[in-house]
A and B are shown apart, each in its own frame.
Chain A
Amino acid sequence: MSSSPYHPHTVAPRVTRISHVVENLPPSGIRAFFDLVMSMDDVISLGVGEPDFVTPWRIREASIFAIEKGYTSYTSNRGMPELLREISSWLARSYDLHYNPSQHIIITVGVSEALDLAMRAIINPGDEVIVPEPAYVSYAPTVALAGGIPVSLPTWHVPGFKITPDALDQRISSRTRAVVINYPANPTGTSYSRAELEALAAVIRKHDLLLLSDEVYDQLSYDAPHIPIATLPGMYDRTLYFNGFSKAYAMTGYRLGFACGPEPIISAMIKIHQYTMLCAPIISQMAAIEALRNATPDVREMVAEYNRRRRFIVHALNLAGLPCHLPEGAFYAFPSIAPTGMDGVTFATRLLQEERVAVVPGTAFGPGGSSFIRIAYAASFDNLREAARRITRFVARHAPHAVSPSTALAS
Chain B
Amino acid sequence: MDELLQILSRDARIPIPDLAAMTGRSEDDVRAAIAEYERRGTILRYRAVLNPEHIDAANGKVRAWIEVNVTPQRGLGFDAIAERIYRFPEVKSCYLLSGGYDLLLMVECDSLHQVGAFVAEKLATQENVTRTATHFLLKIYKQDDDIFHGGDSSERLPVSP
Q: Which residues of A contact B (CB under 8 A)?
A: 28, 30, 33-34, 37-38, 43, 45, 47-50, 52, 54, 136-138, 186, 304, 308-309, 311-312, 315-316, 358, 360, 364, 381, 385, 410
Contact = CB atoms under 8 A, between A and B. Distances in A.
Contact of A312 (B6, B18, B157): B18
Given A37-B158, A54-B154, A385-B18, 8 more contacts: A33-B159, A34-B159, A45-B158, A54-B152, A186-B161, A304-B3, A311-B24, A410-B17
Interface of B: 3, 6-7, 11, 14, 17-18, 21-24, 152, 154, 156-161
A360 B3 contact: no
A301 B157 CA distance: 24
Contacts of A48: 156-160
A50 B21 contact: no
B21 A28 contact: no
A358 B160 CA distance: 11
A38 B23 contact: no
A37 B21 CA distance: 29
A175 to B, nearest CB: 28
17 contacts: A28-B161, A30-B160, A30-B161, A33-B159, A34-B157, A34-B158, A37-B158, A43-B158, A54-B154, A136-B161, A138-B161, A186-B161, A308-B3, A308-B7, A308-B23, A311-B21, A311-B22
Given A54-B152, A304-B3, A308-B3, A38 B158 contact: yes
A360 B14 CA distance: 28
A364 B3 contact: no
Nearest to B151: A54
Contacts of A138: 161
A47 B159 contact: yes
Contacts of B6: 304
Most chain A CB inside 10 Å of its own CB: which residue of B18, B158, B161 = B161
A385 B157 CA distance: 21
B18 A45 contact: no
Nearest to B7: A308
Contact of B159 (A45, A136, A309): A45
A381 B56 CA distance: 30
Contacts of A28: 161
A151 B23 CA distance: 40
Contact of B21 (A33, A47, A312): A312
B21 to A, nearest CB: 4
Contacts of B7: 308
B22 A52 contact: no
A50 B160 contact: yes
Nearest to A31: B159
A224 to B, nearest CB: 14
A67 B154 CA distance: 21
A47 B18 CA distance: 22
Contact of A49 (B21, B152, B160): B160
A309 B156 contact: no
B65 to A, nearest CB: 25
Contacts of A385: 18
Contact of A316 (B21, B156, B160): B21
Nearest to A301: B6
Contacts of B157: 34, 48
A358 B18 contact: no
B111 to A, nearest CB: 37
* 6 interchain residue pairs of minimum CB distance: A47-B159, A315-B21, A308-B22, A45-B158, A137-B161, A34-B159
A344 to B, nearest CB: 14
Nearest to A382: B11
Nearest to A34: B159
Most chain B CB inside 10 Å of its own CB: which residue of A49, A54, A137, A312 = A312
B150 to A, nearest CB: 13
Contacts of B158: 34, 37-38, 43, 45, 47-48, 358
A109 to B, nearest CB: 17
A148 B21 CA distance: 45
Most chain A CB inside 10 Å of its own CB: which residue of B7, B23, B157 = B157
A30 B24 CA distance: 33
A410 B15 CA distance: 13
Contacts of A316: 21
B159 A37 contact: yes
B156 A52 contact: yes
A358 B156 CA distance: 13
Contacts of A358: 158-159
Contacts of A309: 22
B18 to A, nearest CB: 6
B95 to A, nearest CB: 25
A43 B158 CA distance: 9
B152 to A, nearest CB: 5
Contacts of B160: 30, 47-50
Nearest to A35: B159
B153 to A, nearest CB: 8
A49 B160 CA distance: 5
B161 A49 contact: yes
B144 to A, nearest CB: 16
A186 B156 CA distance: 18
A86 B160 CA distance: 30
